[in-house]
Amino acid sequence: MIKIDLITGFLGSGKTTFIRKYAKYLEKKGERVCVIENDHGSVNVDLMLLDDIRSKNIDVEMIACACNTDKSSHLRRYRSKLITNAMLGYNRVIVEPSGIYDIDEFFDCLYEDPLDDWYEVGNAITIVDSTLEDNLSKESNYILASQVSCAGTLLFSRVQELEGDKDKSIENVKSHIKRALKDIHCNKKIDNIIVTKPWDDLTDDDLEKIRNSGYERSSYVKESVIRNNEYKTFFYVDLNISKDELINRINKIFADDSVGNVIRIKGFIPTENNKWIEVNATKKQLKVVESNVGQKIILVIGEYMNMEHINEYFPEAVAIENKHK
């Protein structure tokens, strides 16, 4: 049977970065891998961020629906993609959903005919930012805990960026996760599944353990947070500004309380030499690099955001709203 892995993590936690390393390791072990970017948005920037890992044995595909398409249509496309992939000779499928995701969708789909004859769950890997803010909203804590509830590995990202007492910082994040689990009445034990080694230091032995870490579905009290949330993505299309100007505007957005809780900003702007500037930003980190692929779009992702105020930072662009369903 084809093993299918779920890589979860809250917005900006580092899922895409880990998948780059993980997929290449699987290829080295002789596996044929398909990465599925499973997002409810109409544009998936992460698909482009993974473009350079494509090879003879690694493919990257996207499932997305238009902003006004309902959830059932998205699930039908997801199911159809898995059926197609089952016929293409992959050993492993890696699913990267959006950072706001109901994990039951992943498992429920695999229990249906004919997918249950072709696929088996390999691993559920949850990425947690080691610089996680302690004052997350109730909704964000629910999403974090629900993702952790099924994890076989809890992989901390950005450990190398911690300042001061790193052990204390990591313990604080562990305590935060445990409180979030308690809030949803989940008795998941996490101490033995946590990996806190900086990712550049992960050995083949470490990756092999992750590759075989499995999953564990722990029960919890399900709430309507995801269905009725205020998480949104604003798309800013056809933006033509300089790199310095983009950085300046992003910094101002994160400093502006009137825009709401902006969690992540990512996307591309074109350069004069027919290349692209890729930006990937959270409140604590701003990454800007040159890329050979891109699309003229910037995504602003968050909760309880004020679109009118954010639009003022991108007056040159066409603004489109997508509410996560």
The reply to whether omega before 114 is within 30° of 0 (cis) is: yes
Four-residue CA torsion sign, 20, 25, 26, 31: positive
Q: How far apart are the first and last CA of the chain?
A: 31
Closest CA to 163 of 130, 136, 191: 130
Q: What is the pLDDT of residues 157-167, one digit of tens each?
A: 999 988 889 99
Residue 276 pLDDT greater than 50, yes or no = yes
Helices assigned H by DSSP within 9-69: 15-28, 45-49
Domains observed in the chain? 2-211 (3.40.50.300), 231-323 (3.30.1220.10)
* Phi, psi (degrees; rounded to nearest 5) at 43: -130, 130
pLDDT of residue 68: 47
Tokens 């930072």, residue? 313
CA 100 to chain centre: 8
Distance CA 224, CA 209 (A): 34
Residues of the chain above pLDDT 90, percent: 70
Q: What is the pLDDT of residues 173-208, one digit of tens each?
A: 999 999 999 999 999 999 999 999 999 999 999 999
Q: Assess contact for 260 and 302: CB atoms under 8 A.
A: yes
pLDDT of residue 48: 72
